[in-house]
Amino acid sequence: QMIQFNGNMQQDICGSNSSPQDTSEGVMSANHSYIESIPENIQNKMQLLTQEEVQILYRLDFYCFDQAGCRKLQHMIQDIDTNGMPPSPHKKAFLDCLIHFMLPLASDVMINQFGNYLCQRIMEVADPASVESLVTHIQNDIVQISLNIHGTRVIQILIERLAKGILEGIHSQIHIIKRPNNLKKKFEDMDGFEFSATHRLYDCILKNVIGKLTEQIVDLTVDMHGNHVIQSLLMVFKAA
Q: What is the DSSP string of 22-42?
A: --SS-HHHH-HHHHHT--HHH
pLDDT at 20: 36
Q: pLDDT tens for residues 107-165?
A: 999 999 999 999 999 999 999 999 999 999 999 999 999 999 999 999 999 999 999 98
Task: Quote the pTM value.
Answer: 0.80
Asked if 16 and 33 touch (Cβ cutoff 8 Å), the reply is yes
pLDDT at 172: 83
Q: d(Cα 160, Cα 67) in Å, to the nearest integer?
A: 25
Type and span of the H or E element at 56:
helix 51-57
pLDDT band at 228; cut points 50, 70, 90: very high
Q: Which of the residue ranges 10-19, 55-64, 221-230 would you say has the lowest mean pLDDT?
A: 10-19
Q: Which of the residue ranges 62-71, 127-136, 149-158, 181-190 would you say has the lowest mean pLDDT?
A: 181-190
Nearest to 225 by CA among 117, 162, 160, 150: 150
Nearest to 47 by CA among 57, 32, 62, 36: 57
pLDDT at 204: 94
pLDDT band at 38; cut points 50, 70, 90: confident
pLDDT at 238: 66
Is 80 exceeded by the pLDDT of residue 224?
yes
